[in-house]
């Protein structure tokens, strides 16, 4: 379809999507990427192309995996909803009911829904942590549970960019005895053959694309961050190179370390946009999905600095309008460009995963916008 080794399938009527995908290589700096679109539960576009490394010696394959940063949070949101279905977790109960230590410094009333809608005030730590500490799941969970909230709980959302992952792991371990990643693997990924990983075995490293970066200042430059952004992105030492570390892939932080591709992400969102089933197996009930996608708070986020409505872990399209024209769409996108979302109105599951991270310098990522616009031009 273009000079950049693009492969896959694109059904008739969706040529504009394939053209937008190809344009990302010719005009928008993509090196390697995958894109997948399901409509009414049927895969209609599944494309991959380019290279998995900076030297452009390793072709992106059908099963290539890549770190998708915060697109991972949508997978965690699904796991939270499934725990609700199983009667193991309740969105309206305090986190401290399951994890008593979390009640420290006035957090005893923070509900599960408030935690996963970024209202708990624990977007970072009041002291600078090291990379080794960030990669220690137990240390991170315990440190964040002991942290005092940085704004009045429930008054505003402040995106817990990295911290929601260790907090999720801490809660899941106390409820299930497993991390979020272990729970997802056992409940969904392994039995339903979903090729997404939160805690990647070393034996799969050969399939992982290197994360590349466009060399613009990360997060727009530390000197330009407000106090809440510093907590979320500096006190917890986030940098793009983390994704290429074996320790990062192995730990599988469920806020940012998911390894997957567009097909695996779109498969999940396609299920959530239709009958909530993969291969005939129900992921979550209609009631649990409705609860997970109900508005918990709608405001200008203290960290993201744009208007957003949060569900219980899902970003809702109601305020953003990023996931097409339908307000009922929901999902999550990730640092650098990846995204995945469901549009129940049009019964779409959509995802894009790439290895060239771009920092926003003059508006939304044109790769994201071009693909989404092409999808809706076709449907």
Report which secondary-structure segment, H or E, holds 97: helix 95-98
Comparison of pLDDT for 334 and 218, the residue scoring more:
334
With a cut of 60, say whether residue 1 has pLDDT above it: no
- What burial class does residue 47 get, using C-beta atoms within 10 Å of its C-beta: 0-12 exposed, 13-18 middle, 19+ buried? buried
Q: Model-level pTM?
A: 0.97
Q: Are 297 and 117 in contact (CB under 8 A)?
A: yes
> Around 179, how many Cα atoms within 13 Å sit in the side-chain half-sphere?
21
- What burial class does residue 344 get, using C-beta atoms within 10 Å of its C-beta: 0-12 exposed, 13-18 middle, 19+ buried? middle
User: Can you give the pLDDT at residue 220?
Assistant: 85
- What one-character DSSP code corresponds to residue 33? E
Report which secondary-structure segment, H or E, holds 230: helix 227-230
Q: What is the pLDDT of residues 265-287, one digit of tens each?
A: 999 999 999 999 999 999 999 99
Q: Give the mean pLDDT of the chain.
A: 97
Q: Are 342 and 316 in contact (CB under 8 A)?
A: no
Report the candidate in 229, 123, 107 with the shortest Cα–Cα distance to residue 166. 123
Q: What is the pLDDT of residues 141-193, one digit of tens each?
A: 999 999 999 999 999 999 999 999 999 999 999 999 999 999 999 999 999 99
User: Can you give the pLDDT at residue 2?
Assistant: 41
- The rounded percent of the chain whose pLDDT value lies above 90 is 95
Q: What is the pLDDT of residues 92-134, one digit of tens each?
A: 999 999 999 999 999 999 999 999 999 999 999 999 999 999 9
- The rounded percent of the chain whose pLDDT value lies above 70 is 99
User: Can you give the pLDDT at residue 223?
Assistant: 87
């Amino acid at each position: 379809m273009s000079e950049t080794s693009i492969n896959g399938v694109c059904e008739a009527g969706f040529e504009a999507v394939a053209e937008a995908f190809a344009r990302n290589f010719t005009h928008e700096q993509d090196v390697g990427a995958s894109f997948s679109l399901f409509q009414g539960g049927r895969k209609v576009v599944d494309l991959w192309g380019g290279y998995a490394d900076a030297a452009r010696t390793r072709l992106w394959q059908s099963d290539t995996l890549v770190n998708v940063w915060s697109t991972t949070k949508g997978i965690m949101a699904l796991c939270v909803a499934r725990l609700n279905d199983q009667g193991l977790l309740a969105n309206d109960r305090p986190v401290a009911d399951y994890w008593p230590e979390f009640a420290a410094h006035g957090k005893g009333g923070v509900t599960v829904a408030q935690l996963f809608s970024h209202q708990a005030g624990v977007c970072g730590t009041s002291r600078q942590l090291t990379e080794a500490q960030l990669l220690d799941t137990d240390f991170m969970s315990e440190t964040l549970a002991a942290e005092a909230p940085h704004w009045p709980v429930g008054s505003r959302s402040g995106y817990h960019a990295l911290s929601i992952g260790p907090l999720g792991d801490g809660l899941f371990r106390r409820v299930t005895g497993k991390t979020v990643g272990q729970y997802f693997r056992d409940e969904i990924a392994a039995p339903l053959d979903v090729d997404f990983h939160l805690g990647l075995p070393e034996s799969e490293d050969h399939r992982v694309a290197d994360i590349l970066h466009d060399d613009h200042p990360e997060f727009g430059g530390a000197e330009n961050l407000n106090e809440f952004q510093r907590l979320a992105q500096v006190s917890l030492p986030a940098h793009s190179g983390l994704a290429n570390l074996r320790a990062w892939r192995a730990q599988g932080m469920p806020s940012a370390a998911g390894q997957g591709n567009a097909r695996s992400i779109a498969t999940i969102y396609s299920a959530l946009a239709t009958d909530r089933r993969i291969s005939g197996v129900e992921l979550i009930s209609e009631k649990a999905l409705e609860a997970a996608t109900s508005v918990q708070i709608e405001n200008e986020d203290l960290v993201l600095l744009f208007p957003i409505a949060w569900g219980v872990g899902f970003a809702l399209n109601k305020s953003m309008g990023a996931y097409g024209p339908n307000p009922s769409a929901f999902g999550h996108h990730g640092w650098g460009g990846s995204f995945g979302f469901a549009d129940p109105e049009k019964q779409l599951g959509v995802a894009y995963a790439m290895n060239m991270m771009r920092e926003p310098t003059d508006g939304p990522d044109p790769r994201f916008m071009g693909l989404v616009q092409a999808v809706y031009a076709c449907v």
